[in-house]
Each structure stands twice: as structure tokens, then as C-alpha cells.
Chains A and B, each alone.
Chain A
């Protein structure tokens, strides 16, 4: 390494260290243990368990089976010494490798960039620009929480373009997040983040942190209270249609064939479904959402917790959705598109596109108020959610002739452009409302196929970064669609020009706000 190695006292293990000072720092010393050490512990455990069987056999004199247990083989042939040597050697080697990988893994945060260097043989050097940050996520897997550590993930726009810092001290991660967001916000004066004095012994501190992680100090109280009953109910109601269909299938199948054995085929599916629902429950039962100066903070997770901060202007599309069975209760969920996606997170079911897993209309208004304050107060939101296409509700609806392609939803099928956002309302049975801020849309498309042409209809589509929300609207009156195409193209340009959210606290942004 050509750069001078960081002095050892600058490790991130020390709570509330100033990590965003432009110097190279190391991660928490427990990192190797948390990352790879677990597998090692497991292997050790297997060996110990095997040995215990062996001891019991030797002491009690159990049945001497003819199996070729490697351990028995090693002991009986007098290779015990060599075996132990190999074991100790391997142990030392892996400890050395883990230590080295920890030594070589350094990061630094300057005014402009975040950089991570890692790897022993194959060095990686990842660099992200702070003004392109899409979010800062603090994840605390259960084991990491026990050790008082956390994983900080800086989401930069792009597929898998995250800069993970795993692991940091729990308090250090919180501090670092604040500092990164402060730097990214474009605030001119770098306020020195005062670290809280740390009192008490290690155990007491650990205990406090363990409890405090739920409270997430620094963030105001959650604006939405997640009732476990409601969450459970929403999950159950989601499962009802699936269960009904499956049960109907089973009943029909058994009456037709008179056989029962094929029921076995449903067991893996049922287990999978149950796992999915249990996972969803544990993930969202401690759900919280609040507004901080640096964006929306979403917290979730029961044993493993995560805490996601979305700076302003990082939400590219929003969808409010109401499954049929939620309608009697007036529940909605809110999902979003964001520019950063982590394949690893998606694989582990941690994808962070749920802004509100389930909530009443009031909850929806409060959460949406964080994203689109003007819209959340307006009547057009209600029209978009519940409206049935009454004239004068602010939406331009599909004409009657669209009934041929929108059997039930023709009256609800409509669009609006207001408060700097585009609203697409569709669905009569499964209601949903897609919202795209004009400052975030990438392009607009207007399409027409032969069927739509014969009905004088057209399709509209807004292109945003990919995610669970697709903002498109079919079967719109052709002339209305053409006019809307022009309006939206214009709105997208003007909104993007005046948009300064990539440096949301910079002086020019504040000047803009005071003018408005």
C-alpha cells in the first residue's frame, strides 16, 4: 500500500468516532468474526459434537460399528498429533486471513466521495459520489446486534452499486450516517458532530444500545403506529384468496380423481407460503417511519433490524395499492421505486421498496405527506384512491368506448397532472394509484396499437427507474393522451430544471424554498 496505513486507534470500534474526516479508517474489529467467523464456529461445533460421540463411545464402550469415521480413523492409527497440528495450522491460517482482510479493508469519507478499499489478493477500490446518494441504510443482523455492531450501506444509483461498510460500531454507524447525510446535503458549514459522552461499563453500554436501536435516537417519533393486529389481519387477508383458490383446486382434484396422495405435492408450497408470511410479519411488526431533516427514515425488523434513510427527491415513483379484501377496512400499502437496488438485499427478502406495509387512509396521508406534502392534503388524492370517475374529480377519465378493453375499471381509469406529480388511477377490483413526480421521470411514451386505434384510444407510459411500480395507463382517449403527452413532456423538463434535491440543504435549495 502506498498510502500510509491508518493509525490503529482510528478503528471504527470506538463509539462516536469522527469517521467522516477524510482519513482512512478501519472497520469494527469484530468484523471478521461476524462475516466469516460464523462458519468457522459452526465447523468447530461439528467437530466438538463428533468428538463427544467418540468420548462416549470410548468411555461407555458403545457398539463398535464398522463405519469409517475419520476421527476414529485418525485416533486409532496414531495420527492424532498430525491431525491436531493440521487443525491448529488451519485455524491459525484462517485467523490470519481474517485478520489480514480486516486490516486491508479501509474506508474514507471526504466532502465529495465515499471510498472503500478491500481484498487481499484481488484489491477492490470502490468510490461513490456523495451527491448521488440514494439512501443510507443501517442494517443490524441479530448476531451483529449482540456484538454492538451494525452494517452501514450507502446506496448509490445503479444496480448493485452500493458501498457497504460492514461492520461498524453501532453508535459509530449512527454518527457516520448523520455525517454522510450532512455532507451529501450540501450544507456549507461542516458542523462538528459532537459525540455523546459514553458512560458506564461495556455491558451496560451494550445493553443500552441494544434497547436504543429500536428507539433510533435522533429520529423523531414514528408518524405511523403499526398495530400487530392490523399487520396480521392484512397478511391473513392477503393469504385468503390464495388459500381459497388452492383449497378449491384440492377439492376439485380429490373429487375428480378420488386420490389423496397428490396432496403431498402442496406441502412444500404451503411451507414456502407460510415462511413468506411469517417473514413479512417479523419484518414489519416494528415498522416505523419518520421525517428527519435529511429525509424519510424507515425502520423495520424484529431480531435483525434495518433503518433506511431516503434523502429528499430519491423516490422516483409511488404506488398506493388496495387488494380487494382490504377494502372493507380501508387499508392501503405504499411501495416505491428508487434508483438503487441491491441484488443481495432482494435475494434475502430485505428489499426496501415498501414505504408502508399496511395503513389506514390517515396513515397513507401522513406517509405521503413526507414525499408529496401538497398532494397529501388535496382532494385529488382521495379521488385517486376511492373515486369512481365522477365528473369534476380532477381526473381525465377514459371514455365510455374504452369499456371494451377495461370491463370494470373504465370509469376509474384516468390520469391527472397536479402538484408537480402525475397520477394514474386504475383498477376497480384491485384499486391502485400510481404517482410519479415530474422532476423524476426519465421519459414519456405514447403508444397505440391496432385495437386501440380502432377505438380511438391510446396508451401512456412514464419511464422511471425500475422497481415494483410501473406507471402506465391504457385505454385513454386519443386526443386527451396526445395533449397529456405534450403537457407531461413540458412538465418533466421544467420540474427537472428547478429541482435541486440532489443537494437538498445547499444554500440555493433553501433560497428556492423560501421563494416558493
Chain B
């Protein structure tokens, strides 16, 4: 994997390692529901080949779980002079740069699992729906501070659409 995209001159700020647990538990719950549902369906229908569905799902979820720590470590952001840089993804890498003046609003969301370990999620909204940036796994105080910082920055550079 020498051909990964790496940006130069970027000091990535990573999300809290505790977010690994949030992600793991979330994935696990989804996995149990999906695999369980598929198993029940296969059980009732009684066709042997149908068991391929829960087994396949199980393998996919297992891989997802195994790679979760690395995937969480791949999430990063940096506040540059004029824009916010964001990255995520291991297999499918995605880098997004959003100029501060383009941010229309910043949301703070807290899911039940994340709240239990004191983490928040920041969501950035621009006039383009495709921007689609959520920054999970920030300690609550950091999230609020970051939001205020970004809102101030956005306000000071506000331009037309």
C-alpha cells in the first residue's frame, strides 16, 4: 500500500481513541441485528444455501470490526489558515477542504454510546449537500470549543454564497 494518498505539510489532529469503542459497539449492534435477522430468515425458510447470507454478512462485519481501530486512526482534521481540512477512510480514502467562509452551520450531535464515554460528533454544513463532513469522536469540551472557533472563523470570512 505504498500508493496511498498523503498530503504534505499537514499535521493531522486525530480523534479520541475512545471513539474506537463507540464505533465497535455501534457496528456490533448492527451486526447482531443483521446477522440474527438473516439467520432467523434462513432457519425458517430452511434452505441450506440461504445460510450464505448470514455467513457472508458475518464475515463482512468481522472484517469491519477488525479494521475499526485503524479506520478510526485514519480520521483526521486540521484547521489551516483559510480552510478546514478533513480526511477519513482506509480503503476508500476521502479528503475534503472547506473554506471557513463557506460553512453555513456547525452541528453537535451526541449518540447514546458516544455520550456514555463523553464524546461528541461535529457536523459541517455548506450550501452543497455533497460536502458531507462529520467529525466524530471529539471530547465534549473540545467539540464545543472547536465549534465556537469555526463559527467565529466562518463569521469573519462570510461572503455571499
Q: Which A residues contact B (CB, under 8 angstroms)? A: 131-132, 134, 157, 313, 316, 339, 440, 442-450, 453-454, 456, 458, 461, 463-466, 478, 481-482, 485-486, 488-490, 492-493, 496-497, 499, 501-502
Contacts and interface: CB of A to CB of B under 8 A. Distances in A.
Interface in B109-161: 126-131, 133, 157, 159-161
B92 A450 contact: yes
- Most chain A beta-carbon neighbours within 10 Å: one of B1, B82, B94, B127: B127
Interface string B71-98: 0000000000011010000011111111
B83 A493 contact: yes
B100 to A, nearest CB: 8
A132 B83 contact: no
B101 interface: yes
A482 B102 contact: no
Contact of B99 (A316, A448, A496, A502): A496
Contacts of A456: 3
A461 B132 CA distance: 12
Given A448-B5, A461-B130, A493-B83, A131 B94 contact: no
A23 to B, nearest CB: 28
A413 to B, nearest CB: 19
B161 A132 contact: yes
Contact of A445 (B82, B91, B95, B159): B95
What band does the interface of chain B fall in when counting residues whose beta carbon is under 8 Å from A? 20 to 34
A99 B97 CA distance: 54
A443 B5 contact: no
Contact of B94 (A339, A445, A464, A481): A445
9 contacts: A442-B102, A444-B96, A444-B97, A445-B95, A445-B131, A447-B94, A447-B95, A458-B5, A489-B99
B126 A454 contact: no
A499 B96 contact: no
B95 A465 contact: no
A493 B101 CA distance: 8
B160 A463 contact: no
A463 B91 contact: no
Contacts of B94: 445-447
A134 B99 CA distance: 21
Contacts of B102: 442-443, 492, 496
B25 to A, nearest CB: 27
Contacts of B63: none
A488 B96 CA distance: 11
A478 B130 contact: no
B93 A448 contact: yes
A489 B126 contact: no
B99 A492 contact: yes
Nearest to A502: B160
A443 B91 contact: no
A110 B157 CA distance: 26
A481 B159 CA distance: 27
Given A443-B131, A464-B128, A478-B3, A493 B99 contact: yes
Contacts of A444: 96-97
Contacts of A482: 5-7
Contacts of A447: 92-95
Interface string B1-23: 10111110000000000000000
A501 B92 contact: no
Contacts of B6: 482
Nearest to A453: B3
A454 B97 CA distance: 24
A463 B128 contact: yes
